[in-house]
Amino acid sequence: MNLEKLMQQLEAKHPGEQEYLQAVREVLMTIEEVYNEHPEFEKAKIAERLVEPDRIFTFKVPWVDDRGEVQLNIGYRVQFNNAIGPYKGGLRFHPSVNLSILKFLGFEQIFKNALTTLPMGGGKGGSDFNPRGKSDAEVMRFCQSFMLELWRHIGADTDVPAGDIGVGGREIGYLYGMYRKLAQMNTGVLTGKNLEFGGSLIRPEATGFGALYFVKQMLETAGHDIKGKTVAVSGFGNVAWGAIIKATEMGAKVVTISGPDGYIYDENGISGKKIDYLLELRATCNDVVAPYAEEFGAQFVPNRKPWEVKVDIALPCATQNELNGEDARNIINNGTLCVAEVSNMGCTPEAIDLFIEHKIMYGPGKAVNAGGVATSGLEMTQNAMHLSWGASEVDNRLQQIMSDIHEQCVKYGKQPDGYINYMKGANVAGFLKVAKAMLAQGIV
């Protein structure tokens, strides 16, 4: 593989798509060695075929707001790779959404889904719709208009969307209602559904729970116990919520959350009804964390990120590239043991290089946060069987899956000096599964 040449070609075809090019470079860099040991990969141009999405749909989403004014957004679905199963991945509704972001997320999803051990390909979609300040009725009309286009391209055995930033149970409900009406079918075409119409227990908690199962194993592998450790979390949405619940249950103390307005430092720990309060904050749709400080007498630090707080474990739970080189230097100086991305591509390449250079445990999003999509996979399984499992059945499977992912990372990421490069391990394990599937299925 000629990495630089491949990147140049990709850059020429997709100019300025920074997040997408960043995600591709990271994967190619870490798989280069194993790729070159398999001449059959080069011969079948696996790398070139893997970095290009199978197809992309973009569509207009017109809707009417509460004042009767017509609004327009753009909708997207990127179907990236379905060599090992139907396209699978979330929908993101956020004003920052563009093709670069959705292609990076779709690309990451291929390897993440491969790691889950379940048969799911990679896809992602969404819209530049901004849910901030919107009423329920506006969100419903937007979701209905969005599905009016999307429904043609998805299906329980072809492409199964779910939630991501800005898309939770409420949005999935509206999307599902419109799909059911248009397709005249009740199927597992979306995951993250409410329990009454085919959703799975534990799915709302799964991303955060899975992340903590993974972090616990990272720590144990290095001879540490999670009990009594302090944790910095960024974000305050669904992913942060699940992570805080499980970290607290495991005996760790979470001392921060954050929003676009700044971060909260709560030295007493975010537990009990403070965790429930996060759901209330989210439900206001104002996208701020400052009210937490007034409610519980904690410290609010405006316009700053939580990575300056001295903790044992750092968990980015907000969005891509939220932790940069400067943050990484703070984290290293503070003697932090472990950084695990619960958000997708939470750390910049500079931050990751610093962690690896300083031998700090670093878990990449595609391994750490895979419990979310894995439990979506379990929701698909239950839908296909027309039954539902109890919470412990789902949770046990989730724990087993996270443990399998950890094992794959160690297998392919352990260095001769004993340091585990989880980024390399996750990328190589995910890649090998997909590459072998592509190879076996010919040039298609």
Residues lying near ligand 2IT in the complex (CB under 6 A) are found at 88-90, 112, 162, 164, 191, 344, 372-373, 376
* Tokens standing for residue 256: 């921060």
Q: Beta partners for 58?
A: 76
Nearer to ligand 2IT among residue 87 and residue 263 (C-beta): 87
Q: How many CB atoms lie within 10 A of CB 275?
A: 17
Residue 203 C-beta: closest distance to ligand 2IT, Å: 8
Nearest residue relative to ligand 2IT (C-beta)? 90
Backbone φ and ψ of 163, nearest 5°: -90, 165
Nearer to ligand 2IT among residue 360 and residue 367 (C-beta): 367
DSSP calls for 359-427: T-EEE-HHHHTHHHHHHHHHHHHHHHHT----HHHHHHHHHHHHHHHHHHHHHHHB-TTS-B-HHHHHH
Nearer to ligand 2IT among residue 336 and residue 383 (C-beta): 383
Amino acid letter, 195: L
Which one from 88, 103, 112, 124 is the annotated catalytic residue? 124
Residue 68 C-beta: closest distance to ligand 2IT, Å: 33
Residue 307 C-beta: closest distance to ligand 2IT, Å: 22
Tell me the pairing of strands 70-81 and 230-233.
Answer: unpaired
First to last CA, the chain: 21
**How far, in Å, CA of 444 to CA of 175, rounded?**
31
Amino acid letter, 86: P
Residue 65 C-beta: closest distance to ligand 2IT, Å: 27
Asked whether 113 and 84 are in contact (CB, 8 A), the reply is yes
Residue 354 C-beta: closest distance to ligand 2IT, Å: 24
Residue 153 C-beta: closest distance to ligand 2IT, Å: 15
Residue 379 C-beta: closest distance to ligand 2IT, Å: 8
Nearer to ligand 2IT among residue 252 and residue 372 (C-beta): 372
Query: Judging by beta carbons within 10 Å of its beta carbon (0-12, 13-18, 19+), is residue 302 exposed, middle or buried?
Result: exposed
Asked whether 24 and 10 are in contact (CB, 8 A), the reply is yes
Residue 229 annotated as catalytic: no
Nearer to ligand 2IT among residue 122 and residue 413 (C-beta): 122
Nearer to ligand 2IT among residue 89 and residue 208 (C-beta): 89
Nearer to ligand 2IT among residue 63 and residue 104 (C-beta): 104
* Nearest to 262, CA basis, from 203, 306, 307, 212: 306
Tell me the pairing of strands 313-315 and 299-302.
Answer: unpaired
Q: Which residues contact 305 (CB under 8 A, 6 or more apart)?
A: 234, 258, 263, 322, 323, 327
Q: How many CB atoms lie within 10 A of CB 10?
A: 19
**How far, in Å, CA of 5 to CA of 18, rounded?**
17
* Nearest to 199, CA basis, from 246, 163, 154, 244: 163
Query: Judging by beta carbons within 10 Å of its beta carbon (0-12, 13-18, 19+), is residue 206 exposed, middle or buried?
Result: buried
Nearer to ligand 2IT among residue 282 and residue 358 (C-beta): 282
Residue 315 C-beta: closest distance to ligand 2IT, Å: 15
Give the active site residues.
124
